[in-house]
Every structure is written in structure tokens, then in C-alpha cells.
Amino acid sequence: MPDTLHEPVIAMEGVLRPTRLEVDLDALADNLAAIRRRVGAVDVMPVLKANAYGHGLVAVGRLMQALGVPCIGLAYLEEGIRLRRAGVDTPILVLGGILGSQIPAFLEHDLTLTASSVDKLRAIEDCAATTGRRARVHLKIDTGMERIGVHWYSAETLLEESLRCRHVEVEGIFTHLANADAADPGHARLQLERFAEVLSFYDRRGLPRPRCHAANSGGVLQLPESWLDMVRPGILMYGVFPSSEVARTVPVRPALTWTSRVVYFKVVRPHSPVSYGSTWAPDRLTRIVTVPVGYGDGYMRSMSGQAQVLIRGRRYPVVGRICMDQLMVDIGWDSAYNDDEVVLLGARGDQRVTVEELATWAGTIPYEVLTNINTRVPRVYVGRWAERLGLTRAG
């Protein structure tokens, strides 16, 4: 079933704009396999929020379903609805906070809710009772993130309330680690101690625990004690490590190659400024090529004066301010022609532009770089899994 809501899932060669994002689904499948090997018998719930970290929610959701994951993690209700409308019937846990008015839609689309307070749990119970549907929830415990969830020191009230619910099935209970990717895992271990204290509620009453989970990408990499019943890898699934400090214990590889093409070539005289604000001008006669990509696509303006791209396997600087829809590259006195490929992210030959480099140039983190590549950029899916899922056909 084609996804008609936001993203182009399949691309017709020669029709789409020259700026595109190539997504290697085989790399994603290999990354999931590597994470599964790392955690052994523990379940893996890949997190596909923010358009699957820029890789395309529907296509990656279909891949995860085909690979038999037990659950998919998302941030928002509308992401879950998109996957359901695209035919993905794998269990879906929406990890973010909810409004009471959204609960009927969760139940209608068979999505699992996060119950982050007593009041929200009661609202879910009341809605389920009224509609005659059974709700599934995971209880959220805040052990040191201060985002959503009941504090660990007052969590017993939520757990007691969950035992009184007759129309809610408590499938799981979880917390989120704020510093699992740090060189010093002390705070993460403190959070795990607090979470264990909460979980003792079930042991004291002789009750079976719901499915317990805490580990994000950092936890998967360097905190085996955080794996519990299930892990929630996010950025690691996409072949990117969550920080430069974290132990790299899982062999993953990036799945994205972001390219465009040269659409204009000109010779620029010395001291003739390039782009808005006239912030840069060459000090010698030089050749400038224009590329049809800019901050309107997620190639961030803050990389102006820092970024580099690959043309014909060589690195060249992006010069002047990056525009909404275009950027300029100084190729010196080298040759480039209209329609030459420009690699913004990825490898050609022995040269590679990494997401970590883009993050450094932009003064941000790899997460923001990936999720900023917006849906104006067509996604083109490649690899054996793209063929199996029918994502390489023109249409």
C-alpha cells in the first residue's frame, strides 16, 4: 500500500529533483542483526520516531515488520496512525506524552499508550470502558530525566492504581536513561538502581512484573545491566553512535547517502562576494558551482563557511551563506560539469563525509542532522530488502 501522507516511498528515475536521499535497507537490517547479537535473548524494539531518524517512517516500518521485531517505538500518535494506514500491524508503543482527547484514536488504531501519571491512567481506563475496547499501556517512571513519568519515589501510587484497572492491560513499565552514552555511566547506574526499587513493588506482592525496559542506544552499547526484558535502540539502528564518548561494542554502518548534482558553473573574479550577506569572496580567480540543496531541505545554514562536499571523489568547501534552496562550492581551478554528482553525506571512493562532521560544522549533534533532512528530499530505497518490499519499482 503506498504511503500518500508525507514521503515519497518510491522514486521514478529522472523525474524527481536531483537532490535525494539514498537509504540502504540492507544496512538497517544488518544493524538490527548486530544489536540482536549484542543483547542475546533480550527483545529489541527499534525506535522509528522523527520519520525513522530521517530514513523514512513507512519504508523502515515495513522493513522492521518483515524482520519480525516484537514492537516498534514511536514518539507521537500520528506516527502510529501513519504506520497502521500503511499496513504495518506490528505492535506499536507510543513513548511520548498524550492528551486525553487522543485516547480514542489510540484505541481505534490499536496503539499502545504510555501512562505517565495516575490521572492519565484513569483517563485511559475510562475511555476503554466507555468504548468497549481494551487498552494496552506501558507505565512510565521518571528516575532522573525530569521529562514525563511519575517520580520513582512516588511511583507506588501509579502501580497500585494500575492493579485496579479492569479495561487496561499493563504490558510494560519503563524508564529513560539521560546519560547512558557518557564516558562515566554513574548517573545511568543510579537511575537503574531507582528503577529496580520501583520494580520491587511487584516482588513484594508476589506479582509478575510487566515487561521492563530502560536501555536506549547508549545502554545497548555499554550497560548490559540496563537491558532487562527489552532494549530500545534509536540512532544506533541507523548506523550512528549516540556520542563520541560511548563504547563502540556493536558493529553498525550508516544507511544514508545524501546527494545532489551540479546545476550551474561559473568563473568568479577575485574579491567578488558569493551569496547573501557577502560574507565570503575568493582571493583569486576561481570556479564556483551551484548545487540545488539548502536549509529548506535540512542542510543547515549554520554550516556556512564550514561544510565540505565530494565532487568526483574530492573534497571541496561550501562557500558563502547556504541559501534556502541552493549552495555554492569553490572547486578552485578543477573541472566540474552540470549534472556531476555532489555527495553531501556518504562516501565515494576513499573519501567520506560523515554525519558527525555535519554535526560539528553545524554546532549540533548527529540526531539533529538526521532528523532535519525533511520530506522535501525524496527517499530512494536500495538493497535486497528494498527489492523484497517492492520499494524499487517506479510509480
For residue range 340-352, what is the model confidence (pLDDT) as tens digits?
999 999 999 999 9
> What does the alpha-carbon distance between residue 343 and residue 21 come to, in Å, rounded to a whole number?
10
Told to judge if 276 belongs to the known catalytic residues of this protein, a careful annotator would answer yes
The whole-number pLDDT of residue 392 equals 76
Asked whether the beta carbons of 94 and 77 are under 8 A apart, the reply is yes
> What does the alpha-carbon distance between residue 255 and residue 233 come to, in Å, rounded to a whole number?
15
Q: Give the percent of the chain with pLDDT over 70.
A: 95
Q: What is the CATH number of domain 25-238?
A: 3.20.20.10
For residue range 213-246, what is the model confidence (pLDDT) as tens digits?
999 999 999 999 999 999 999 999 999 999 999 9
Span 17-33, average pLDDT: 96
Told to judge if 367 belongs to the known catalytic residues of this protein, a careful annotator would answer no
| Active-site option among 153, 264, 276, 337 | 276
Span 348-376, average pLDDT: 96
Span 103-111, average pLDDT: 97
Q: Is the pLDDT of residue 10 over 70?
A: no
Q: Is the pLDDT of residue 170 over 70?
A: yes
The fold of the 256-377 domain, in CATH, is Lyase, Ornithine Decarboxylase; Chain A, domain 1 (2.40.37)
Which neighbouring-strand residues pair with 225? none
Q: 256-261 and 341-348: which strand pairing?
A: antiparallel
The whole-number pLDDT of residue 9 equals 41
Q: What are the residue ranges spanned by the domains of the chain? A: 25-238, 256-377
Q: Among the residues of 211-295, which ranges form H helices? A: 217-222
The whole-number pLDDT of residue 288 equals 98
The whole-number pLDDT of residue 17 equals 84
The pLDDT-based confidence of 3 (bands split at 50, 70, 90) is very low
Span 147-171, average pLDDT: 97
> What does the alpha-carbon distance between residue 261 and residue 315 come to, in Å, rounded to a whole number?
15
**Distance (Å) of CA 279 to CA 72, 295, 305, 320, 329:** 46, 17, 9, 6, 14
Instruction: Using alpha carbons only, give the angle 163, 169, 173 rounded to the nearest 5 degrees.
Output: 75
> What does the alpha-carbon distance between residue 370 and residue 368 come to, in Å, rounded to a whole number?
5
Cell numbers standing for residue 120:
492519565
Q: End-to-end CA distance of the chain, in Å?
A: 12
Q: What is the DSSP letter of 288?
A: E
**pTM reported for the whole predicted model:** 0.94
For residue range 36-72, what is the model confidence (pLDDT) as tens digits?
999 999 999 999 999 999 999 999 999 999 999 999 9
Identity of the amino acid at 110: D
| Active-site option among 49, 53, 299, 381 | 49
